[in-house]
Structure 1
């Protein structure tokens, strides 16, 4: 009889791995040392045996302001599973959001307080790396027969950038049919898809001069104020649009979103800023066409800035993640039931819903691979991308158990144990 809690998964080992991962700065931007992080990962996984392959994204695809260093992706194939078994790709992104302000614990060190583990990347998603390595060690040490050969994909630039690593892999090589994306949440959820995300940077060029003689220059920041006003008006229109994608339980319909996320201009009181850069983010629904989304933004920007005192202005696309639509497939039941058993949660508690957030797996779908699974450590209260990000000991251990169960050859799904919202995919090809 199966028992998820019989796995000998070492929390001490997970804690040590996570401390090392958090201590290595991979904040994007600039995420400047992916090769060094790959060195760390290879050392951590050395006891699993197998092979390692590094794949760099060509610089002409990702080059942008503030982004430096090789974009090195790592594929690890541990010496686990029978040679004739299908591969199961387990995905991680290795960059994190910037540290940001208002932390009350050291952001690039692992801090444990009770059952909470604090640090940038604990939930998104270095904690997932530690959990999976612990799961694979437990399976290897026990000599457990596996149904799949795991492939660990450590990928670049999910947190931003023009060309995420998983996109490059999906477009240049054949990926396994079983794709487990651990950049998701810990709640009992079946992935119903997510929105797309488009980042634009608008740069206005003025003339920098002494603030005592503003008549001799052009204040780029002040000249960009009409754009902020126009975007605020457009924001109201955009956010009135709702999606048919199922929302989280007890939540309002998912809405398109428009936000100004960054403004940079000037650095002191005695000089007018000669350059102003505004970054905006548009979360667009699967029902929307990205070319129309982009055109609406460009029209609004042009109308606001044409005729201003700016010497010049330009628009640059600095990030794009397409939406994910209906990713369910033949392995959805197995993953759902593995998670249910690992967390002592009834399968019927797992519901299908989408998200207004975005995933680099939108590029995987555009490359022709529809089916994918989602799990992870994120929760609404975990301050992902904010100060004092954390995960919990319970969640990281449950994720390790979920992955171990999913991979085990003796884990059999039960057709009678299916969420009411989960479609029967047994005959899906």
Structure 2
């Protein structure tokens, strides 16, 4: 254990340079479709460490990379997962330091992605390098995933799962300030109200009173009926649902975007509402969607026009860019799982501080891994308030500590035999 820690301490300049190299790739999402060169670098890095690599396009110009060190199936396996894309920068005139480079100021590293999450990605890669350089025996399988699309709700991690990558323990070194965390979930959806007929604005007078004889309605106004129903459900959730680690009312239904109508000379014949739904770790997105639709069914059944013209729904999607929809499954942290307990123990030995467990206030790809049946923890460097921010930065010591903890966790976990089936 000391040998690995000593290697990382003595080669921290190499670790900083690895962070710098990753940050210099401007893998901003959106617009995305720009990660191929960065991912080729990651693939080459893994190959130099003796890992077999699998690289494929999730979208043109945006490939996933998976590196695998095959192991003895009698021993436990581990999976490290991180995303190569970063938040957009836009006008960087407000930055003190270059946004796509790393500037060290004291114990802080500045640059886009240092906190979210190229600092964590570099720490994970460097942990693999430390294990290889120290020549330690790791009999269990190690899987390393560098995925695309997390920033824009593009399920690069889901693609890895569909491709068959699984392990007994998964760690996502995304922004958590060295806390071991689970998370809530998010799903977006479109609620659509559409009239089978289109009416001229001059017909509105015949549609709004008993003598008008025209059975029509504005889709925008009918969407307001559904919106009130969503607000009622959100208030109901706030007082009937809770989860440790979340403030009351964290499970929200946000009416984020509304689109409707075609021209001032027409009565609106279609209206679309884009909602973002946050739910708790002990809930599935399928269950939450079913609750919303069941509640709205009662709402529109009480409206004479909507009863004949009910709304339809489009939930989720694999890309906010391509499909204008996303899903981030929740992750209920299995705190008593032996892999999570081992991670906590090693954290305490490396940092000298007791491990802290909690719930992330944001969402990450960790939920996909947990949903696939893997014991999963979010555990990475950086403060969330610094992610996506002007002058994004991360404490160097946190990145160093993550590299040490991951290397030690891999070594000890993958040297344990699996429990008999």
What is the TM-score with the length of structure 2 in the denominator?
0.72
Which of 361, 364, 382 matches 1:378? 382
Tell me if 1:391 matches 2:414: no
**Contact 1:238 1:258 (C-alpha < 8 Å) held by counterparts:** no
Q: Kindly tell me: are residues 4 and 51 of structure 1, through their superposed partners in 2, closer, same or farther at Cα, counting changes over 3 Å?
A: closer
Q: Deviations over 1:243-289 (max 9, x none)?
A: 23x31xxx745731233456789xxxxxxxx9997643211124445
Query: Match of 1:350, SS?
Result: coil
Aligned residues: 386
User: Aligned residue for 1:7?
Assistant: 7
The 3-state SS of whatever aligns with 1:89 is strand
Check 1:307–1:111 CA distance in 2 against 1; reply closer, same or farther (3 A cut): farther
SS at structure 2 position matched to 1:200: strand
Shift of 1:400: 1.0
Cα displacement (A) at 1:91: 1.0
Name the structure 2 match of 1:362: 367
Alignment match, 2:100: 108
Q: What aligned pairs does 1:410-429 form with structure 2 within 5 A after superposition?
A: none
After superposition, the C-alpha distances for 1:186-227 in whole angstroms (9 at most, x for unaligned) are 33x444x32221112467999xxxxxxx99xxx999998888
Query: Of 186, 199, 213, which aligns to 1:197?
Result: 186
Aligned to 1:74: 65
Structure-2 change in CA distance of 1:237 and 1:118 (3 Å) = farther
Q: CA deviation at 1:112?
A: 2.9
Distance 1:77 1:237, change over 3 A: same
Q: Structure 2 CA distance, aligned partners of 1:289 and 1:50?
A: 35
| Residue in structure 2 matched with residue 333 of structure 1 by the alignment | 341
Rounded Cα–Cα distance in structure 2 between residues aligned with 1:82 and 1:356:
37
Identify the match of residue 289 of structure 2 among 269, 286, 294.
Answer: 294
Change (3 A) 1:301 1:176: same
State the match for 1:258 in structure 2: 253
| RMSD of Structure 2 on Structure 1 (CA) | 4.7
Note closer, same or farther for the CA distance 1:108–1:233 as it changes in structure 2 (3 Å cut): farther
Q: Secondary structure at the match of 2:359?
A: strand
TM norm structure 1: 0.70
2 CA distance for matches of 1:295 and 1:26?
Answer: 36
Question: Is the helix fraction higher in 1 or 2?
Answer: 2
Distance (Å, rounded) in 1 between the aligned partners of 2:408 and 2:56: 29
* Partner in structure 1 of residue 242 of structure 2: 243
Q: Give the aligned partner of residue 19 of structure 1.
A: 20
Partners of 2:6 and 2:106 in 1: how far apart?
A: 24
Report 1:337-356 matches (<5 A). 337-345=345-353, 349-356=354-361
Map 1:22-171 → 2, pairs under 5 A? 22-57=23-58, 69=60, 71-77=62-68, 86-99=76-89, 104-105=94-95, 106-146=98-138, 148-161=140-153, 164-171=155-162
Of the two, which has the highest radius of gyration? 2
CA deviation after TM superposition for structure 1 residue 427, in Å: 8.1
